[in-house]
Amino acid sequence: MLNMYGTALQSRLMLGTSQYPSPASLAESVKTSNTQIVTVSLRRESGDSLAGQHFWQMIQSLNVHVLPNTAGCHTVKEAVTTAHMAREVFKTDWIKLEVIGEQDTLQPDVYALVDAARLLVQDGFKVFPYCTEDLSVAGKLLDVGCEVLMPWGAPIGSGRGLNNPYGLRTLRAHFPDVPLVIDAGIGLPSHAAQAMELGYDMILLNTAVAKAGDPAKMAGAFAQAIEAGRSAYEAGPIEKRDMAEPSTPVLGKAYLV
Amino acid sequence: MNIVINGEPKVVHTEGLQDVLHELGYQNKVIVTALNGHFVSEPNRQQIQLKEGDKVEVLAPMQGG
């Protein structure tokens, strides 16, 4: 069974909670996805609308683990401070660490990411770092105490699928025992299945579900694809060949020329 | 006293951080605070006296990916 920082999980899908057409749509999508982990954030709360209070009540009613993020942070200080604030309000030492380095692609600032991860691990956090497929960065994140890595598939919200299957396959092969989660860029269930066939342990989705015409139905489709991809990985896919090989036996074929 | 709450200028009539939060409608709410860029944990709010121009962030759980 999959294990993330000592928490056993049956579902291999993490679901983001942003951009749904309604709170009811989010709640229904969480149910059809069968996810056990949802991602959340911290944002300014108005003393008048108190929107965050209603959101938090709804999330608590879903009976899932929450993984707070540091989305939108661009510096080590911002990310570390946000993580400390998240730990107090969400009562969890899990943190999805994002330190954004480039505004067009929202790719991580991997230098700041490693520095922030080091500080947070020292402070007792269980860090889920949003990273790239770069092997040396992955190694440094593990060196500073991360036990899970979350490489991107493609830029956040792009829906492009796996931009660099070779790099992701290499990362999987290089760290065979580290839980690896594809975070960001997935657009279709087939993208998620491809990542699972490569041996990835989980998929984190948000936009592909939330912005679908029917989010709950899409969440269910992703759950099936992820399960199918995982089963295919466990079953051992065949190797690709350049030339054809008959699948029907040649021996015993009648001479009818 | 003039302070800044979540980026908006506000005039408040008390000085203790906890009292200001009550004054602005945050009493007994699930929130987390920072003062001038530094996290202020819930137990420490009672000890914080605000000054003119202080910048307070009041955050709460919100949707996230």
Mean predicted confidence (pLDDT) in A160-169: 97
- In chain B, what is the greatest distance between 2 CA atoms, to the nearest angstrom? 38
Residue A1 has pLDDT above 90, yes or no: no
Kindly report, residue by residue over A236-252, the tens digit of the pLDDT. 999 999 999 999 998 99
* pLDDT at residue number B55: 98
Residues 52-81 (A) with a CB less than 8 A from some CB of B: 52-53, 55-56, 59, 68-69, 71, 77, 81
* pLDDT at residue number A185: 95
Whole-angstrom Cα Rg for chain A? 20
Residue of A17, A47, A50 lying closest to B64 (CB–CB): A17
Q: So where are chain B's domains? A: 2-59
- Are A45 and B58 in contact (CB < 8 Å)? yes
Q: Chain B residues with CB inside 8 Å of A51's CB?
A: 60, 62
Question: In 3-state terms, what secondary structure has residue B47?
Answer: helix
The per-residue DSSP string of A135-147 comes to HHHHHHHHHTT--
Mean predicted confidence (pLDDT) in A48-57: 93
Residues 10-29 (B) with a CB less than 8 A from some CB of A: 24-26, 29
- Are B65 and A53 in contact (CB < 8 Å)? no
Find, among A129, A134, A94, A132, the residue nearest to A114 by Cα. A129
Average predicted confidence (pLDDT) for chain A: 97
- Which ranges in chain A belong to alpha helices (H)? 23-33, 51-61, 76-90, 110-122, 135-143, 165-174, 189-197, 207-210, 215-235
Q: Chain A residues with CB inside 8 Å of B60's CB?
A: 42-45, 50-53, 55-56, 89
Burial class, A102, CB count within 10 angstroms (exposed 0-12 / middle 13-18 / buried 19+): exposed
Mean predicted confidence (pLDDT) in B16-26: 95
Find, among A236, A238, A256, A255, the residue nearest to A247 by Cα. A238
Q: How many CB pairs under 8 A join A and B?
A: 106
- Are A84 and B24 in contact (CB < 8 Å)? no
Q: A88 at the B interface (CB within 8 A)?
A: yes
Kindly report, residue by residue over B28-46, the tens digit of the pLDDT. 999 999 999 999 999 999 9
Please state, for a pLDDT cut of 90, what percent of chain A lies above it: 97
Provide the annotated active-site residues of A: 96
Q: How confident is the model at residue A80 (pLDDT cuts 50, 70, 90)?
A: very high
What CATH number should be reported for the domain whose range is B2-59?
A: 3.10.20.30
Beta bridge partners of A120: none
Kindly report, residue by residue over A114-154, the tens digit of the pLDDT. 999 999 999 999 999 999 999 999 999 999 999 999 999 99
Look up the ipTM and state it: 0.95
Residue A47 has pLDDT above 90, yes or no: no
Please state, for a pLDDT cut of 70, what percent of chain A lies above it: 100
Residue of B24, B33, B60 lying closest to A56 (CB–CB): B60
Residue of A19, A26, A53 lying closest to B29 (CB–CB): A53
